[in-house]
Structure 1
Amino acid sequence: MMFANINGAKLFYDVDGASVRIANGKIVHKPVIFIVHGGPGGSHLGFKPYFDSLADHAQLVYVDQRGCGFSEEDQPENYTLDQNAEDIEALRKALGLEKIYLLGHSYGGMVAMRYATRYQKNLKGLLLLATAPSYRFLNKAKEYVEMHGSVKQKYYAEKLWAGSFQSEEELGDYFKELAPFYSTAAASGNAMARPKTKHSYVPLNKGFGGFMREFDLRDQLEKVDTRTLILAGRHDWITPVSENEEIHRRIPHSEFQVLERSSHRIFADEQEKTLQFIQDFLNEVH
């Protein structure tokens, strides 16, 4: 396992794929993609094995945010959007990398956008998967649960909105109960078997119970000059298509695609299409 001491915290990262290869007698430098998970409180394991084949085309650097996954726990006051973005920049420097691609899913997309507003000079490209540019997504998600949720789903969703989970087990119960909302594959009973992984409830509580209620990157996105790919799931309940369209309208050099048979976990619901969009984007930009 690989760790780096980043801004006072011990962060886990993992590298999948070589940075160079030999093709037709020439050295080919592959793009480097930092991959940032959602939550807050998720882990990089949520991307596996869905992204494994992407390592044939790029070097993947998976990151567990502070207090999440295999990374060291920290003081709750350090679980913030700004700190997560600063950690990405510090890890880029620690690994001796120049320009990188940055891919973020859900809350990870919010981290990626915050990073882009500060460090776009260090970005080759930005990939935003099923995310939102401001706090406004919360009201839309609440309306969806109120309209479509069962009694149990509404009960656990209220804990999410309040940021009031008391244990990893309770947060695990939330994801189990709301799994059909997050994935069309789960809703149809066709989801891939998944191992039990850590659910970091303290960072999640800090986000949904605090800073995510007021974060707003919309005006800043208009200054992002980085080539950007935005992917959304047609049936996404928590970061709906409209939120991703807003990002597309704000970022000048952006491409927007909707996966018609997906919910929030687009790379699980339509893995092949998701990876194809990413590979096409890399081929075009790199």
Structure 2
Amino acid sequence: MTTNKRTAQRECTFGEKYLEINGKSLFVTIKGQGDPIIFIHGGPGGSLEYFLPYMEPLAESYQVILYDQAGCGKSERDKLDHYSLEDEINNLELIRTALNLDKVTLFGESWGSILALSYAAKYPFNIHKLILTAAIGLSSIDYQTFKKTLLQKMGSYKKMKLGYYSLVAALGGNVSEKVNILMDPYYVYSVETLTKKKEIQNNKRALNKISRDIEKEYNLLPSIDQIENLPVLIAQGSHDILSTAFIEKNVMKHLKNAELVEVKESGHWTILEQPEQIRKLTKSFLEARETVSLRN
């Protein structure tokens, strides 16, 4: 019985697989060989498709592991539509153990940066390095700042339209496309980039429930000692909703072994706008010798 279990886990090492995690089937795709990088998509409610094909070239040097979070993409929806930050932390740990991985590098984008940091705070000894892009911060206060800043950029008229669409959606209307048309330009440096954007079917229940969970529960500052010395790279777009100045002031002072890089000509969706630069930063960071900086 033990041999069969281990064989099944080894078979999960390559290709596209479904793993039974917390009573749900989660879709995982694995490419390449080498030190493992687990990519954590944004949303909440997004999909691993956001990383494709932009991060695939890293599979020439690393084992690239992508997965759809619970209820997202090709993964099974929760029958009770129960989604939470804590569940996603547990799911990530069970994926790591199911794939027989030791220390891993986590690459978290947007909401994925919150999940990566939260996982690291709970399981710091499982982390090799952390790579964060479109970072949100370390607490619900930073998350609220992100949302407020986004709304300020939109202006009064478009905020009213967004409010109207939210009301229509609450009454059962399908306004996803209209909301995307309204919101997407604020996530990029150049609207021309949107011609490359994949239309991903988001799980709205996961989005709403995990967003509320972040607002109520997300605060890594009391457990900052768990992550403050981990090697961290933050690649923030020059025109992201939360600026590099904000990240420097509110995040970097808490992370002693972190590096902050501004990704030029990029908004929140750095992987979409500057994929080559993100790949280069990733390889450079992973190949660098680990040193602890003396950040005050």
1:207-251 Cα offsets, whole Å, 9 max, x none, are 23x2121321133234313211111112112x4434532332212
Partner in structure 2 of residue 25 of structure 1:
none
Deviation, structure 1 residue 181:
0.8
Partner in structure 1 of residue 96 of structure 2:
92
Cα separation, partners in 2 of 1:158 and 1:110, compared to 1, 3 Å = farther
Q: Which amino acid aligns with 2:28?
A: Y
| Residue correspondences, number | 269
Q: Say whether 1:251 aligns with 2:255.
A: yes
Contact in 2 for aligned 1:113/1:221 (Cα 8 Å): no
Instruction: Provide the secondary structure at the position in 2 that maps to 1:145.
Output: helix
1:2-36 Cα offsets, whole Å, 9 max, x none, are 1100111111111122x2xxxxxxxxxx2110000
1:135-192 Cα offsets, whole Å, 9 max, x none, are 22323432442343363455337877x9x7677943343223211111113x2x2444
Instruction: Provide the secondary structure at the position in 2 that maps to 1:184.
Output: coil
Q: Say whether 1:110 aligns with 2:114.
A: yes
Q: Which amino acid aligns with 1:206?
A: K
Counterparts of residues 31-50 of structure 1 (less than 5 Å): 31-50=35-54
Instruction: Name the stretch that deviates more: 33-42 or 264-273.
Output: 264-273
Which of 168, 181, 194 is the aligned partner of 2:186?
181
CA distance in 1, matches of 2:198, 2:134: 23
Counterparts of residues 74-89 of structure 1 (less than 5 Å): 74-75=78-79, 78-89=82-93
Q: Say whether 1:126 aligns with 2:130.
A: yes
TM-score (norm: length of structure 2): 0.82
Instruction: Provide the secondary structure at the position in 1 that maps to 2:19.
Output: strand
Partner in structure 1 of residue 58 of structure 2:
54
Instruction: Name the stretch that deviates more: 93-102 or 128-137.
Output: 128-137
Cα separation, partners in 2 of 1:211 and 1:222, compared to 1, 3 Å = same
CA distance in 2, matches of 1:33, 1:3: 18
CA distance in 1, matches of 2:283, 2:106: 14
Partner in structure 2 of residue 155 of structure 1:
161
Q: Say whether 1:196 aligns with 2:211.
A: no
Contact in 2 for aligned 1:54/1:275 (Cα 8 Å): yes
CA distance in 1, matches of 2:173, 2:53: 23
Cα separation, partners in 2 of 1:125 and 1:274, compared to 1, 3 Å = same
CA distance in 1, matches of 2:188, 2:240: 8
Contact in 1 for aligned 2:48/2:66 (Cα 8 Å): yes
Instruction: Provide the secondary structure at the position in 2 that maps to 1:68.
Output: coil
Partner in structure 2 of residue 2 of structure 1:
17
Which of 123, 141, 152 is the aligned partner of 2:147?
141
Cα separation, partners in 2 of 1:2 and 1:48, compared to 1, 3 Å = same
Contact in 2 for aligned 1:126/1:228 (Cα 8 Å): yes
- Write out the 4+ residue segments of structure 1 that deviate beyond 6 Å after TM superposition: 157-160
Partner in structure 1 of residue 240 of structure 2:
236
CA distance in 2, matches of 1:158, 1:242: 33
Instruction: Provide the secondary structure at the position in 2 that maps to 1:38.
Output: coil
Cα separation, partners in 2 of 1:257 and 1:74, compared to 1, 3 Å = same
Contact in 2 for aligned 1:7/1:87 (Cα 8 Å): yes
CA distance in 2, matches of 1:277, 1:258: 11
Contact in 2 for aligned 1:233/1:260 (Cα 8 Å): yes
Instruction: Name the stretch that deviates more: 257-266 or 35-44.
Output: 257-266
CA distance in 2, matches of 1:182, 1:108: 16
Instruction: Provide the secondary structure at the position in 2 that maps to 1:78.
Output: coil
Partner in structure 2 of residue 26 of structure 1:
none
